[in-house]
Amino acid sequence: MTDDDHDDDPYLWLEEVTGDTALEWVRARNAEAVDELTGAPRFAALRDEVREVLDADDRIPYPRRRGEYLYNFWQDAAHPRGLWRRTTLESYREPEPVWEIVLDVDALAEAEGESWVWQGAAVLRPGYRRALVELSRGGADAAVVREFDLVSLSFVEDGFSLPEAKSRVGWIDEDTIYVGTDLGEGSLTASGYPRIAKQWRRGTPLADATTVFEGKPDDVSAGAYHDPTEGYERDFVYRNPDFYRTEKFLRTPSGLVRIEVPEDAETSVHREWLLVSTRSEWTVGDLTYPSGALLATRFDDFLAGGRSFDVLFAPDEHTSLSYHAWTRHHLILAMLHDVKSRFEVLTPGPDGWARAPLAGVPEVGSADILDTSPDESDEYWLNASGYTQPATLYRGEIGAQPQVLRRAPAFFPAQDLEAHQHFATSDDGTRIPYFVVGRPGATGPTLLYGYGGFEVSLTPGYSGIIGRGWLARGGTYVVANIRGGGEYGPTWHQSVLRAERPRVYEDFAAVARDLVDRGLTSPERLATMGGSNGGLLMGVMLTRYPELFGAIVCQVPLLDMRRYHRLLAGASWMAEYGDPDEPADWAFLREYSPYQNVDADRPYPPTFVLTSTRDDRVHPGHARKMVARLRELDHDVRYYENIEGGHGGAADNAQAAFKWALVYEFLWRTLSR
């Protein structure tokens, strides 16, 4: 396929993100949606109720330990851009902790005349005296990087600094960092991520930084990082040939040493241990380890040629490993059993690995390890919630019962709500789990949510936004755990890659049908919603299964599968979807690509498409062109594009509340017809 093959697209001009004509079109569509959806009293009530959730003073301030301090990033009505702040554990235990302001993003934005959005900070360890702060304009993935002094609480004059780019930075020591950034022609991959990793010393020009590793132009990315664990200091470099493959090397004085595991396996090194998470079967000698297993061996033994592994986790048809987290002396395994959280503690010793349940984990919808202190202690922080249970934050130490430190407020009445898990049968006979949340016996408006990609699991959790905008008003909420996610490990995801992608959409359609077959709703009262890869899911539901739904909400979507790999980060996703420039791949992509499959004669349900001008991950041209095509053929569609917000769609709580109010007003208005 050549560039000329794309010239028959009449809406290519809408890919000019900030082009005058394109933005004029955006402003006109925004005005239409706002005029249609904001006039009724319900919209104002929805907006205000969502804003109250987002700005609530009594929500949990989730901490991250960095040395003696607990850090938190906080946004509220008075600080819409947010405060980076810190306190001590002793103070955090109090009902009203005393917070020290580290960085006021609102004040910085005002002083510099920029729309800064917090993107995080890499804190130097050990010592925790410096940070590399990332700030983006309007919420884009691209960010500026500035060095910050955590003692004086100020930016470091003439410190490490990078202009706006999709950079990757990390500390080596107080005077040296690893950096990958836009250094000009040839420094980025086809996906727009760093290709070259450099070692940059304080006080020297970036142009003089030493190149330590280079990936290939068609890689997704490449980089380097330093492990500062005392007594185990090591440096690694890596390249990602595609989204799911990695080559990793140990940097040594004599050169790079390849960590010889399958490219699709994930590896991590902690002190003396090498952990390998398999994503496909791996045969080592006479043993074959299954996909989805976690293996452990001593790192130095492995580099010396040893291949004896302890199997720390092996999956079964109901249970998968989500992730693992080290404390100082233990390893916590986080698992899903039929999409419900389970935890186990493993402890290495002279006789192997001892196993025990993680004490005190509540029986709720899902729980997550938020933070540990692998350098210093066996502390861990765990957050637990369910669809109808507000979050509870626990702090624990391995071997003792965890303590409740915070409980989130209830943002909606849940006493009459129930959550149940059901299973639908997809076209090929696969059982697809899904959760239904609502009033027993309800048969009214129902909202079905899904994602189905990149091994992302959808687990039960509390949402004040969904609760107030949907459940408290009598709606039923459904989450489908379709293939493409990680709910049942790598095979659940890998079974629907590339040419097998239609299985994802068959799964989702099966759940929609099962809801109707169970008498929980009817097609005209069933809406569906998804974003990003889930926006692609929505596009396929619209063009392939429109009869199943009464309304569709499609957010920050991927929709033009003919050109997705040429737009922003799209090239990095070809391992998931395929390469449209390869005729064999385009043959299966064109069968479901929403933009190419809009039908003038087929009835479509009312549709709402939302995106962000500042989304530099999924190009807003996908959403714009799809809406233009739907409008051309007189389908019922409206469009809203937030100027800020990046891939998340909103840069602050006011924007988020406005966006969610538009969505829920559209849904209630449409499904109540």
User: Given 167, 341, 532, 612, which residue is catalytic?
Assistant: 532
Instruction: Please state the pTM of the whole predicted model.
Output: 0.95
CATH code for the domain of 12: 3.40.50.1820
Active site residue 532: yes
* Nearest of 515, 570, 575, 509 to residue 542 by alpha carbon: 509
Confidence of residue 364 (pLDDT cuts 50, 70, 90): confident
Annotation marks residue 647 as catalytic? yes
Give the model's pLDDT for residue 673. Answer: 74
- Amino acid, res. 115: S
In the prediction, which pLDDT does 60 show?
98
Is 338 in a helix, a strand, or coil?
Answer: coil
pLDDT digits (tens, 9 = 90+) for 306-323: 999 999 999 999 999 999
Bridge partners, residue 319, by sequence? 337
State phi, psi for 572 to the nearest 5 degrees.
Answer: -75, -10
Confidence of residue 1 (pLDDT cuts 50, 70, 90): very low
Asked whether residue 416 is assigned to any structural domain, the reply reads: yes
Is the pLDDT confidence value at 649 over 90? no
Q: Which pLDDT value is given to residue 2?
A: 40
* Residue 563 is assigned to a structural domain of this protein: yes
- Segment 390-416, tens digit of pLDDT: 999 999 999 999 999 999 999 999 999
379 within a domain of the structure (yes/no): no
503: buried, middle or exposed (CB in 10 Å: 19+, 13-18, 0-12)?
buried
pLDDT exceeds cutoff 60 at 31: yes
In a domain, 449, yes or no: yes
List pLDDT tens digits, range 577-621.
999 999 999 999 999 999 999 999 999 999 999 999 999 999 999
In a domain, 160, yes or no: no
Strands (E), 416-497: 418-425, 431-438, 446-449, 476-480
What angle, 0 to 180 degrees and rounded to 10, lies between the N-to-C axes of helices 583-592 and 533-544?
A: 70
**Strand runs labelled E in 243-285:** 245-252, 255-258, 266-270, 273-277, 282-284
Q: Say how many Å lie between the first and final Cα of the chain, rounded.
A: 45
User: What's the pLDDT tens digit per position in 72-98?
Assistant: 999 999 999 999 999 999 999 999 999
Total count of domains within the chain: 1
Quick count: other Cβ atoms within 10 Å of Cβ 583? 9
* Chain segment 155-205, per-residue pLDDT in tens: 999 999 999 999 999 999 999 999 999 999 999 999 999 999 999 999 999
* Contacts with 226 (C-beta within 8 Å, 6 or more apart), sequence order: 170, 171, 172, 173, 178, 233, 234, 235, 236
Domain annotation covers residue 570: yes
The half-sphere exposure of 359 on its side-chain side, counting CA atoms within 13 A, is 11
* Residue 501, burial from CB neighbour count under 10 angstroms (0-12, 13-18, 19+): buried
Q: How confident is the model at residue 4 (pLDDT cuts 50, 70, 90)?
A: very low
Range of the domain at 539: 3-51+411-671
Tokens of 262: 């399958």
Which tokens sit at 282? 């791996």
Q: Which of 204, 197, 196 is nearest to 225 (CA)?
A: 197
Q: Which residue has the tokens 């043959």?
A: 587
Length of the chain: 673
Quick check: 371 and 323 in contact, CB under 8 A? no
**Has residue 652 been placed in a domain?**
yes
Residue 204 lies in a domain: no
pLDDT band at 363 (very low <50, low <70, confident <90, very high): confident
Work out the percent of the chain whose per-residue pLDDT is above 70.
99
